[in-house]
Structure 1
Amino acid sequence: MNHTEPVSKVFYIAVYDITQPKRLAKALKTFRKYMNWVQNSAFEGELTARQFQDLKDELLKIINKEKDSVIFYHAEEQKHIGKKIIGIEKNEITQFY
């Protein structure tokens, strides 16, 4: 019998500040391949270690490390993160437990 280990995923929240419109457009396209958009300059989603590495590699080819910033927050399980919204929720795709 071939037992495969379940692929573990980590929940990430990404926030970014990209100063140039062309780089911003490329970064947005890249983020959308891997994560869910939640509002301006913020994405969230569960990624495997490979997906996270691929996302970082792609972003490093796009951003200017002297001018742009990307921050990733992470938790082993999404249910350990609380979420409070004041005002409108811009994207309701991701559900928190």
Structure 2
Amino acid sequence: MTEHLYIVTYDIRDPKRWRRVFKLMNGYGEWLQLSVFQCRLSRRRQAEMVQLLDGILNHQHDHVIILDIGPADGVTPRVTSLGKAFEAVKREPVIV
């Protein structure tokens, strides 16, 4: 099962929907900063995440961007991080 590294960022207009998206994303990835997560996901988990996000969004007002960085084991993100140190998310067991 190949996992990819994703960066997910979002702009949600309504605070209630924003909280729902934030809680959902906590189950799929690691919070980097306000409205930005990094996720290490299989294709199946990524598709599941997209489907759940799609059900929360107001498509006229909200915006989610999902960047596929590439195979998680074969990519080393080049990141400039000022302040808090950046660490790429590591492979961990997923409890479903």
Q: Shorter-chain TM-score: which interval?
A: 0.7 to 0.9
- Give matches, 1:1-97, under 5 Å: 7-78=1-72, 79-89=75-85, 94=89
**What CA distance in whole angstroms lies between the structure 2 residues aligned with 1:75 and 1:93?**
11
Q: Which moves more between the two structures, 16-25 or 75-84?
A: 75-84
1:4-30, CA deviations, whole angstroms, 9 ceiling, x for partnerless residues?
A: xxx011110001100101100100111
- How does the TM-score come out when normalised to structure 1? 0.81
Write 1 or 2 for the structure with the bigger share of strand: 2
- How does the TM-score come out when normalised to structure 2? 0.82
1:38-68, CA deviations, whole angstroms, 9 ceiling, x for partnerless residues?
A: 1001000210011001101101110111000
Write 1 or 2 for the structure with the bigger share of helix: 1
Aligned residues of 1:16 and 1:69 also touching (Cα < 8 A): yes
**What CA distance in whole angstroms lies between the structure 1 residues aligned with 2:14 and 2:41?**
27
Structure 2 gap ranges (5+): 91-96
Structure ID, larger Rg: 1
Number of aligned residue pairs: 88
Percent identity for Structure 1 against Structure 2: 27
Structure 1 gap ranges (5+): 1-6
Q: 1:94 to 1:10 in 2, by over 3 A?
A: closer
Q: Which moves more between the two structures, 18-27 or 78-87?
A: 78-87
